[in-house]
Structure 1
Amino acid sequence: MNTVSLFNPLFNTDFFDAFDNCLAGNCESKTTFSPKVDVRENEHAYLFDMELPGMSKENVDISLKDKILTINSHKDEKLESADTNKKETTKEVAKNDEKTREAGERWLIRERNSVEFTRSFHLPKDIDGENISASFENGLLHISIPRLPETQPKTIKITAA
C-alpha cells in the first residue's frame, strides 16, 4: 500500500523570515492558516479535496517537484473603507493608517491584512506527474493525480551464443 504523507522541512523558512522582518520593523500582519484537506486513493488516482473558503483559483498555486506536491496561496484581503464605502487592498489601507495615527488611534490587533498558506505532501512513487488535473468550485479545490500502472515482472529468455 502506498501512502501520502505531509512534507514538513525541518526549518520552515516562512517562520524565520517573518521573525526577521518583524525585528527589522517590517512586520506585516498576515494570517497563516492550514486549510483542511481530504486525501483519498482508488486504483486509478490519488484524490485531494481542500477547503479554501473565500479564495479563488487565481489565488492558488499548485506545483510538483521531486514527488512533493505543494499547494500555496496568498490573498490580500479587501477591507471596507469607512469614508467612501469602497473596497481597498491592504496597500491602500496601509496608506490610510497614517490618517488613523493622526487621529490618535493605533492598531492593537490587526489580523485581516492578508491570508496565506502552504501545504506540501510527499507522494508515492507510482504517480503520473504529467497528467495531474485540478479544478476549483465553491471554495473547494479538487486535485486528481493519476497512478501509473504497476509494472509486471518481465521474463527474459536466454539465447545461445
Structure 2
Amino acid sequence: MSTLRDALSELPDAVFADLLESETAYLLVLDLPGVTAETADLRVEKGRLVVEARRDKHLPSEFDYVREERPLFLDAELPLPPDAVGDDAEATMERGVLEVRLPKRAAAPERTIPITAGDDSEEASSAHRTQTGDDGA
C-alpha cells in the first residue's frame, strides 16, 4: 500500500486525495473540481488504477483567461495494493468528488485437503492380493 500512498502524493496540487482502509476494502477519495461522471474514465489495467478526468469549462465569450489555477486534465496511474480486487471495484462521483471502493481479496478459508490414493496404490494393492492368494472373492 505504500506505493499507492507515494503515487497519491505525486498527484497535481489541485487534486486532493484521501486513502482509507477497512478490514474488507480500500476507499480512495479524489477531489476533482469541475469533473463529472461523464468527463471521467476509470479502469484497472495490469495491477494499476487508471484515472482520466477532464474539467469542462463554460466561459463567457467576452472573457479570456488571465490566470488559470487548476489543470483541465488529469491522467494518473495508481498502483493497486497487492490485496485489492480491481474486478469488483465500485466508483461514485458527486459534486466533483470521486470515491473508488476497492474490495480486498478474501483470505482462503481454513479447510482440510483430502488426499486420494494415486495409481501406485492400486497396483500395490493388486500385487499384495496376488502374493497372499487373496483375489478378492
TM norm structure 1: 0.57
Deviation per residue, 1:88-143 (Å, 9 max, x gap): xxxxx8xxxxxxxxxxxxx9x6648x700122211123222222111111221111
Matching residue within 115, 118, 122 for 2:75: 118
1:48 aligns with 2:37: no
Which one has the largest radius of gyration? 2
Larger relative CO (CA 8 A, sep 6+): 1 or 2? 1
Look up the SS of the partner of 1:119 in the other structure. strand
Residue identity over aligned pairs, in percent, reads 27
Number of residue pairs the alignment of both structures matches: 114
1:69–1:121 CA contact under 8 A, matched in 2: yes
With over 3 angstroms needed to count, the CA separation of the structure-2 counterparts of 1:145 and 1:69, relative to structure 1, is: same
1:138 aligns with 2:95: yes
2:88–2:103 CA contact under 8 A, matched in 1: yes
1:34–1:119 CA contact under 8 A, matched in 2: no
Alignment gaps of 5+ in structure 1? 9-31, 84-92, 94-106
Distance 2:21 2:95 in 1: 23
Distance 2:14 2:43 in 1: 17
Map 1:52-67 → 2, pairs under 5 A: 52-67=32-47
Shift of 1:63: 0.9
